[in-house]
């Protein structure tokens, strides 16, 4: 007989696989890469306004619940790793704050109705009340918890704003660094593979770096999830709350 824990893990894996398949289908049937390339070129064409345009677009993604990972990985690398990371961290904190404030004011009733349908919402609320900063940081460290959705979800909990903001910064910094590194290296791999004379050794090293970054991010995510369960046992990722 399957235990509840195993059932939960299997459900989470099924959801992750489903999201991957949706992403692959979207990449095949919709010109997402072309759209992101066009957006990148447009933002760069703005000159000194480009960083502000990127931050503004990121904020809109946060407000309208559009997955921000697509923007940070698709557009962020055009600024380079260091500048892209700085802009992404600033944008994620500003965008998260605006969504958090909207969830506590204008959209509060709507978010509360939505959250009331989530079986584990009370557990999240109790968890952030006891260990606000730690729980928020750990949720940010794990990509299993969608950034834009969590902004609104946390807005109707009892977590103080300063713990939300500090936890978001401390969690999003390493996660954004990992995503940007993978995206920048993937872009370099594609560019180098398109050249007539390929430096095989450098190309292999870049690919190995990408694989190691993904593996490290997976390990950190597992550690974060384990820590969340130890800190607040009843909190589960979105895939287990439906």
Domain span including residue 76: 31-240
Alpha carbons within 13 A on the beta-carbon side of 128: 27
Query: Averaged over 78-87, what is the pLDDT?
Result: 91
State the maximum Cα–Cα separation within the chain, in Å, rounded to a whole number.
61
228 burial level (CB within 10 Å; 0-12, 13-18, 19+): buried
Taking each continuous run of H as one helix and of E as one strand, the counts in the chain are 10, 0
Q: How many domains are there within the chain?
A: 1
Say if 210 falls within a structural domain: yes
pLDDT exceeds cutoff 70 at 157: yes
Mean residue pLDDT of the chain comes to: 79
Say if 21 falls within a structural domain: no
Lowest-confidence pick of 85-89, 167-171, 229-233: 229-233
Say if 13 falls within a structural domain: no
Say if 207 falls within a structural domain: yes
Q: Cα separation of 42 and 45, whole Å?
A: 5
Say if 17 falls within a structural domain: no
Say if 16 falls within a structural domain: no
Q: Cα separation of 191 and 168, whole Å?
A: 33
Q: pLDDT > 70: what percent of the chain?
A: 72
pLDDT exceeds cutoff 80 at 45: yes
The radius of gyration of the chain's CA atoms, rounded to the nearest angstrom, is: 19
CB 62 within 8 A of CB 100: no
Q: Between these two residues, 2 and 135, which has the higher pLDDT value?
A: 135
87-106 pLDDT tens trace: 999 999 999 999 999 999 99
Q: Cα separation of 129 and 58, whole Å?
A: 28
Say if 120 falls within a structural domain: yes
Say if 22 falls within a structural domain: no
């Amino acid at each position: 007989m399957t235990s509840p824990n195993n059932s939960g893990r299997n459900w989470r894996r099924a959801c992750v696989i489903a999201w991957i398949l949706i992403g692959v289908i979207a990449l095949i049937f919709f010109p997402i890469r072309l759209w992101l390339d066009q957006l990148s070129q447009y933002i760069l064409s703005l000159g000194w306004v480009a960083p502000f345009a990127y931050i503004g677009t990121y904020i809109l993604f946060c407000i309208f619940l559009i997955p921000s990972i697509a923007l940070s990985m698709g557009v962020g690398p055009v600024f380079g790793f260091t500048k892209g990371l700085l802009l992404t961290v600033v944008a994620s904190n500003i965008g998260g704050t605006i969504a958090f404030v909207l969830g506590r004011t204008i959209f509060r009733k709507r978010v509360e109705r939505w959250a009331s349908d989530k079986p584990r919402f009370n557990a999240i609320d109790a968890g952030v009340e006891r260990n606000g900063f730690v729980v928020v940081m750990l949720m940010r460290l794990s990509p299993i918890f969608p950034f834009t959705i969590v902004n609104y979800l946390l807005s109707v909990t009892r977590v103080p704003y300063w713990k939300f903001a500090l936890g978001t910064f401390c969690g999003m910094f390493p996660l954004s660094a990992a995503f940007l590194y993978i995206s920048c290296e993937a872009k370099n791999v594609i560019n180098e593979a398109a050249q007539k004379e390929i430096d095989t050794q450098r190309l292999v090293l870049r690919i190995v770096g990408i694989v190691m970054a993904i593996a490290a991010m997976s390990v950190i995510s597992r550690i974060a999830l384990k820590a969340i369960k130890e800190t607040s046992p009843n909190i589960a990722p979105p895939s287990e709350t439906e």
